[in-house]
Amino acid sequence: MDTDRSEDKPPERLQDRPKDRPWVMRTYSGHSTARASNELYRLNLSKGQTGLSVAFDLPTQTGYDSDHALARGEVGKVGVPICHIGDMETLFADIPLGQMNTSMTINGTAAWLLALYIAAAERQGVEPQALQGTTQNDIVKEYLSRGTYIFPPEPSLRLISDVITYTVKNVPKWNPVNVCSYHLQEAGATPVQEVAYALCTAIAVLDTVRASGRLDAAEFTAAVGRISFFVNSGVRFIEEVCKLRAFGQLWDELTCERYGVDNPKLRRFRYGVQVNSLGLTEAQPENNIPRIVLEALGVTLSKDARCRAMQLPAWNEALGLPRPWDQQWSLRIQQILAFETDLLEYGDIFEGSTVVEGKTSAIKNAVWAEVERVTDMGGVISALGYIKEQLVASHTERVRNITAGDHTVVGVNKFTETADSPLYSGDSSAILKVDEAAERDQVARLQAFRATRNQAEAETALSGLRTAVLNGENIMPASIRCALAGVTTGEWTQTLRDIFGEFRAPTGIGGAAAARTVNGETAQELEELRTRVRKSAATLGRPLKVLIGKPGLDGHSNGAEQIAVWCRDAGMEVVYEGIRLSPEQIVTSVRDEGVHLVGLSILSGSHLRLVPEVLTGLRAEGLSDVPVVVGGIIPEDDAKDLRQAGVARVYTPKDFEMLRILSDMVEVAEAAA
Amino acid sequence: MTQPAHSTVDVLANFNRQALARALNLLEDRRPNRQAQALTLLDTLSTLPASAHVVGLTGPPGVGKSSLISRLIEPQVQAGRRVAIIAVDPSSKVSGGALLGDRGRMQLPGQVYARSYAARDRLGGLSREAFSAVFLLRHCCDVILVETVGVGQSETDIAALADTTVLVVQPFSGDLLQFIKAGVMEIPDILAVNKADNQELAQKALADTQAALSLARRPVPPESAAWDSPVLAVSATTNLNIDTLIQALGAHWQHLQATASLEKKRAAQNLEWGIGEIVHEVGQRGLAALGGVEGVRAAWHQQPAHWSVVRKLSVLLEDVQYRTSSR
Ligand code: B12
Ligand SMILES: Nc1nc2c(ncn2[C@@H]2O[C@H](COP(=O)(O)OP(=O)(O)O)[C@@H](O)[C@H]2O)c(=O)[nH]1
Ligand SMILES: [Mg+2]
């Protein structure tokens, strides 16, 4: 027998090549107050986490101080409130910023939070040159999915460009922008859409930077090298491997061809990841752990396309906010993957795989075609409406497939039989509850801060900011002066709101395709529902008209969009105005539009404040006979309270059967007539 | 027939929005007793002056009609005018449902009344409910801004309702201009080329639009009623020329009054609408049963002057039913 020489060689193992360095391990966290979050961060670091990922509360993300009317009930809920430099210093107390790698999920107010970070570092005696981390700073995906935008596209792009040009010169180790595809997948995007629209965003950003004329050729090339990405990874992990390989190759080609970057190192596709959370379920939530593990494989298996940083959601993702133990379990997944398995011991295991190559190039081709389509429309900003419609349509497809059973979700539409769970009994005890006192505490400290700061200095700094904005100067130096002078988040943002104005993003539902023929049973059910809706006009006197409302600062639009589109497809007339409405605005719409039913969608955890406000407003307008249903992340205890307060029905993610929800809605409307 | 309480009418005429909403709910209600109430209400209101300026904005989806309306609201409210908005969106042919999203694109101050309608079985046009709403609102406020989706022929409805029709187009609206040139589409009173924040495109679009207008076949209007439709480059995003657009709206309104053509125009529109509704409801056969267009015209003019147009129509429709069934 011929002996193959290579058989004598031991397989490539740890002893032959150094093990790869693991990715940065983070947990997306923050809540209540800067002090409470600081404690949590230090705890997380002590467990072996290697970087920080800051979740801000919605008022901070949308530029309101904790004592603003629109912030009521939202302070410290889904993240940490940061109103001024004092909060920022508290957040990082005893965490040496010179050594930390901090990722901040901040967009509309990114320039400001970076200014606060730089100022807080200065107070710790740390030079900007030493700072490492990331500001998310991608406004396009805020318009398309995430919802914490403030200003119109043009000034928003200018702010992004200002942050880039400033950091390239002054904070060279900072990632000024994390172009996000993550949130697109969370809004229903297919892998091709995810990559294509993220690339279009990167093009818009880099084109703006180039056109700003602030950077010379070498600096611009450096800026291209600083662009990083924040991607998603779903449970179809082989396709995800291919997607990320395609993404990397496309970025390499784009930066070479469009931006003339010669140095391959600066063309490298650097990305962080949060794995898919849209597919994590409320039913049998323990099944989410295997899902998360498989999703993590998608971004780690292929060495050539491996992530630089990772954060994983928790098993109780669809129930509410994770507790420290829940987050620890997810951190352990990362640690097991990196330190127990042999993952980091090999080169790229897909090298030479024709299957992976084929899939990768198919994705690449489809992505290019979509990028070209958007380019022909004048680029990502001009195409916002089109892109949003595409996302809603893809998500509608996904929901339809789950409803029809074409897309299997274990424990949800298949294998639903279950023993009692020792982990979760259906009550509200398995999630983090934010102390209601945190908001009062935060507001009191904010007001004390304002009372003791040097008012004249703050005002001078603010007028300097105004001048800088109006003169088209880079906003960062004036913002850092504001930070040091004790200006607040609300003041900084209001100054810009006064100059730039505000924006409302397209909802994408107008053009969403009507439910295509679903398979047998579901199609028939839909037809029956349509008949039922048509007949309800006799009871109601006119065609059933509903309003789907999104009160508060909550940007989770998926559920509302899907309910709206499906109501339309069932034959209802549907008023939907998009996200971030005040309870008063919703009440006015209900009155003016003469709807038969109001459906509120709230996933931000502020339902116990917002829903009663809407109910009170309706009563004041003499509309207490209009029934209200509510959907979203509503723990069962709260659902009881809401029903007690007069809400007709409450829905949560486990209610995935759209047609059943819709037929309920008809019933509720008819009963009230 | 029960008379609506006079207080109701007063409250409506005072632009009380709770009462307006209830009245418009009533106008849509198809239950016979409600229909009777609705007709009585409209009759009573028609004794009041119909002093609101009805402005129709039409154009293809996405050109920025809602955004423009949003820009038109504030200056009018500032000037102390009572503003109402009617926005119409197409209904799905498959399901009959509709997504009504226009108000989401508008900044609506508390003083404004805004309501959305589905086109229902009218192709991108105006349902009877939307017409009735405008008939009612004419007596209750100063300005009514009506948004309808229109491409080509399907927006003719708005011309039968608005005192002033504004066609909104955007750069690259070649198809639409073809319609104008071919005379398929009536010439609007004002043409607004939106999205003129993009200077280069806007200039070209202006030129195209002007060329299309000058090529269009225009019926020769009576001397006194001549109105030269202005073409304006505007931007809802940057507020460019919004004041000019408001001036043009005012100028057209003045023009209608100065030439005493408002009454005539509305009377003609009402009849045109009535005929359209008859054809829609009972077809050409029904129309023939009433003696065709001429028969309807004669009947329409003989009906009591204090009847609202909606009653005029409903009586004629009853008449058709009577005639066709007694045959
Ligand atoms: C997708 C998602 C996102 C997307 C949203 C994209 C979008 N445009 O909607 C992105 C990535 C942008 C996102 C961002 C954030 N998210 Co998020 N997100 C989710 C996730 C994973 C799924 C939600 C979803 O879209 N489901 C699909 C839709 C179809 O389901 P649904 O909305 O639940 O609707 C169903 C029912 O609830 C019901 N329903 C819902 N509404 C209505 C209305 C009516 C009228 C009716 C009848 C029924 C009904 O019917 C639907 C049919 O099944 C959930 C966790 C989870 N798995 O549920 C977290 C979750 C909601 N997010 C959360 C948080 C904290 C955030 C952030 C605020 C984080 C931060 N600090 O920045 C941000 C900011 C968002 C913002 N601006 O408000 C928390 C909320 C915690 C809480 N309530 O206490 C959750 C629960 C995750 C967690 N455990 O921490 N998120
Ligand atoms: N660049 C630009 N975009 C505009 C302008 N007006 C509206 N838009 C955008 O065009 C899209 C459609 O606007 P909308 O008012 O809903 O159009 P409608 O369908 O005609 O009512 C939105 O995304 C607007 O932001 C404008 O003047 N300039
Ligand atoms: Mg519109």
Residues A453 and A326: their CA atoms lie apart, in Å, by: 40
b/e burial code for range A350-378 (CB count within 10 A of at least 16 → b): beeeeebeebbeebbebbbebbeebeebe
Question: Is A589–B113 a contact, with Cβ atoms under 8 angstroms apart?
Answer: no
> Per-residue confidence at B305, pLDDT binned at 50, 70, 90?
confident
Is A618 near chain B, with CB under 8 Å? no
As annotated, the active-site residues of A are 28, 182-183, 550, 554, 556
pLDDT score at B313: 93
Map tokens 């109601």 to a residue.
Answer: A540
Backbone region of residue A431 per phi and psi (left: phi > 0; alpha: psi in -120 to 50; beta: other values) = beta
For residue B153, the one-letter residue type is: Q
Domain boundaries, chain A: 5-10+21-342+353-382, 520-672
Q: CA of A579: which chain B residue's CA is closest?
A: B104
Residues counted in chain A:
673
> Per-residue confidence at B214, pLDDT binned at 50, 70, 90?
confident
| Statement: A5-10+21-342+353-382 belongs to CATH 3.40.50.150 | no
CB A586 within 8 A of CB A592: no
A520-672: CATH, from 3.30.70.260, 3.30.420.60, 3.30.930.10, 3.40.50.280: 3.40.50.280
Q: Calculate the alpha carbon distances from A205 to A219, A255, A478 in Å.
A: 15, 13, 22
pLDDT score at A514: 52
Position A177 pLDDT exceeds 50? yes
Mutate-to-test residue for ligand 1 from A149, A603, A606, A638, highest number of ligand atoms within 8 A of CB: A603
CB B103 within 8 A of CB B87: yes
- Helices H / strands E in chain B, number of each: 12, 8
Position A595 pLDDT exceeds 60? yes
ipTM of the complex model: 0.94
pLDDT score at B170: 84
CB A326 within 8 A of CB A315: yes
CB B15 within 8 A of CB B82: yes
Q: In what order do the strands lie in the sheet with A309-311?
A: A24-26, A309-311, A271-274, A228-231, A178-180
A557: which 2 tokens? 């639009």
CA-based Rg of chain A, rounded to a whole angstrom?
A: 25
CB A549 within 8 A of CB A586: yes
> Per-residue confidence at B125, pLDDT binned at 50, 70, 90?
confident
Residues A366 and A247: their CA atoms lie apart, in Å, by: 12
Residues B81 and B280: their CA atoms lie apart, in Å, by: 35
For residue B138, what is the DSSP state? T
User: What is the whole-number distance in angstroms between the Cα of residue B64 and the centre of ligand 2?
Assistant: 4
- Read off the pLDDT of residues A293-336 as tens digits, 9 standing for 90 and up: 999 999 999 999 999 999 999 999 999 999 999 999 999 999 99
For residue A660, the one-letter residue type is: R
Chain B: closest CA distance from residue A643 (Å): 27
Q: Is the Cβ atom of A603 under 6 angstroms away from ligand 1? A: yes
**Mean pLDDT for the stretch of residues A262-290:** 97
Position B145 pLDDT exceeds 70? yes
A619: which 2 tokens? 């009563």
**Mean pLDDT for the stretch of residues A161-176:** 98
Residues 519-548 of A with CB under 8 A from B: 530, 533-534, 537, 541-543
- Read off the pLDDT of residues B57-66 as tens digits, 9 standing for 90 and up: 998 888 999 9
pLDDT score at B152: 60
- Read off the pLDDT of residues A478-514 as tens digits, 9 standing for 90 and up: 999 999 999 999 999 999 999 999 999 999 998 755 5
Query: Which ligand sits nearest to residue A604's alpha carbon?
Result: 1
Sheet strands (E) in A146-301: 174-175, 178-180, 228-231, 271-274
Domains of chain B are 1-48 (1.20.5), 53-259 (3.40.50.300), 260-327 (no CATH)
Q: In what order do the strands lie in the sheet with B113-118?
A: B113-118, B83-89, B143-149, B53-59, B164-169, B190-193, B231-233
For residue A378, the one-letter residue type is: G
Position A518 pLDDT exceeds 70? no
Is A472 near chain B, with CB under 8 Å? no
pLDDT score at A5: 45
Closest by Cα among A495, A491, A382, A387 to A145: A387
Is B115 near chain A, with CB under 8 Å? yes
Map tokens 């709403």 to a residue.
Answer: B133
Of B18, B101, B114, the CB nearest to A510: B101
Residues A399 and A105: their CA atoms lie apart, in Å, by: 28
Position B221 pLDDT exceeds 60? no
User: By three-state DSSP, how is residue B162 classified?
Assistant: coil
Residues of chain B with Cβ-Cβ distance to A564 below 8 Å are 99
Is A517 near chain B, with CB under 8 Å? no
Of B30, B95, B101, the CB nearest to A509: B101
User: By three-state DSSP, how is residue B14 classified?
Assistant: coil
**Mean pLDDT for the stretch of residues B164-189:** 76
For residue A512, the one-letter residue type is: A
**Mean pLDDT for the stretch of residues B298-316:** 92
Percentage of residues of chain A with pLDDT beyond 90:
93
> Within 13 Å of residue B7, how many CA atoms lie on the same side as its CB?
0
pLDDT score at A547: 98
pLDDT score at A141: 98
Residues A615 and A611: their CA atoms lie apart, in Å, by: 6
Closest by Cα among A437, A364, A379 to A153: A379
Q: How does the average pLDDT of chain A come out, rounded?
A: 95
